[in-house]
Structure 1
Amino acid sequence: MALAQLRHFVAGLTPEAYQQAAGCRGRHTLGKHVRHIIDHVEALLNLGPGEGVVDYEHRRRDARLEQWPQQAANRLDDLEALLVAFDPQKEAASLHYPVGDEALMLDTSVSRELAFLTSHTIHHMAIIGLLAEQQGIPLAEDFGVHPSTLRHWQREATSHVIAR
């Protein structure tokens, strides 16, 4: 769901808007955050049979996905299809987790990593939303909002109606 919403947003962007630098050092662009999301999803999908190690540290970082929104939208479309066919019941996995000069190998599961990626994606979509708003790009009200927050908003709206 989040990737579909992101894909739809990205497909409507011009390369100029997608690449526009923001922040005091100019390090942030819509494209860099989209590419970052794609990298993380690919890291999990590249989990080979029998390998069992998820490594978010060593990502592909394809610069074209930062620069060209249509390429990123196409890749997001591909990832959505791969996720539909992806088996979250794969064997137990380990997470390569760097800490300083060391790296820990933490027990995890594919399902747990899918949950992480959902929250990670939505978190970066919230940042993308802030950058888009600075450019005057319209967004859906629920863009970059976690489902738990949407449910909270709904309960809050319902309680205000009942209280009146």
Structure 2
Amino acid sequence: MTSRHPQPSSDTARLVEENLLSLAQLRDMVGSLSPDIYQQAFGEYGRHTLGKHVRHIIDHYDALLDGLDRGEEFIDYEHRRRDAVLEQWPQHAASHLAGLETRLTSMVSGPAPDALTLGYPMDDTRLSLASSLERELAFLTSHSIHHMAIIALLAEQAGIHLPESFGVHPSTLRHWQRTSVKQALSSRRSA
């Protein structure tokens, strides 16, 4: 059984917020798509669809959150659900994303695990790597943004317009904001 702190750290809350922002962007985009566009195959071998990338993101959140719900310290991203319905029907995926947002939000006020172990396959063996909830939340943000950047490229090919911030890591958005503020201050000083 996982030993638990009474409250998650402020770092956990900040990392949850980053994940929530990414998931909300994704949910908004997915909720506006038709099944035809969502399932449209891209690439030389037709392996890429918007839906497959969305499902892949969802699978990773489910792997972490389901493990935590069961009180497990061991996180295994390799053995994911891979629910084909999530990659075929955008409204189902959007609903699932909203549920993930609710589950993540509840983490901020609920108990948090002291430590986690990540299972990582290596050829014929499996490594057990020390981790934490904060580290896994940071991973999920980066992993989601990576796939959202691919989704943005596929969406562009399908003629779908997305906001400039879609698929951009929060650290890059913060950099853009700092740069914009610095440029505005600089232009005021020179005026």
Fold match by TM threshold 0.5: yes
| Aligned AA (2:163) | A
Per the alignment, residue 91 of structure 1 pairs with 114
Q: Is the 8 A contact 1:7 1:76 kept in 2?
A: yes
User: Could you tell me how far 1:159 is from its partner in structure 2?
Assistant: 3.9
- Find the residue that maps to 1:46 and give its secondary structure: helix
Per the alignment, residue 39 of structure 1 pairs with 59
Q: Is the 8 A contact 1:89 1:111 kept in 2?
A: no
Per the alignment, residue 4 of structure 1 pairs with 24
Q: Is the 8 A contact 1:88 1:111 kept in 2?
A: no
Which of the two has higher C-alpha Rg?
A: 2
Are 2:138 and 1:115 aligned? yes
Paired residues in the alignment total 163
User: Could you tell me how far 1:155 is from its partner in structure 2?
Assistant: 2.9
The runs of 5 or more residues in structure 1 that have no matched partner are none
Tell me, in whole angstroms, the C-alpha distance in 2 between the residues paired with 1:154 and 1:10.
26
1:153-164, aligned counterparts within 5 Å?
A: 153-161=176-184, 162=186
Higher RCO (Cα < 8 Å, 6 or more apart):
2
Are 2:58 and 1:61 aligned? no
The runs of 5 or more residues in structure 2 that have no matched partner are 1-20
Per the alignment, residue 147 of structure 2 pairs with 124
TM-score (norm 1): 0.94
Give identity over the alignment, percent: 61
- Find the residue that maps to 1:98 and give its secondary structure: strand
| Aligned AA (1:129) | A
RMSD of aligned C-alpha atoms? Answer: 1.4
Indicate which of 24, 37, 46 corresponds to 1:17: 37
Tell me, in whole angstroms, the C-alpha distance in 2 between the residues paired with 1:143 and 1:97.
29
- Find the residue that maps to 1:107 and give its secondary structure: strand
TM-score (norm 2): 0.81
Question: Over residues 68-89 of structure 1, what are the superposed CA-to-partner deviations in whole Å (9 max), with x where a residue is unaligned?
Answer: 0000000001111011112472
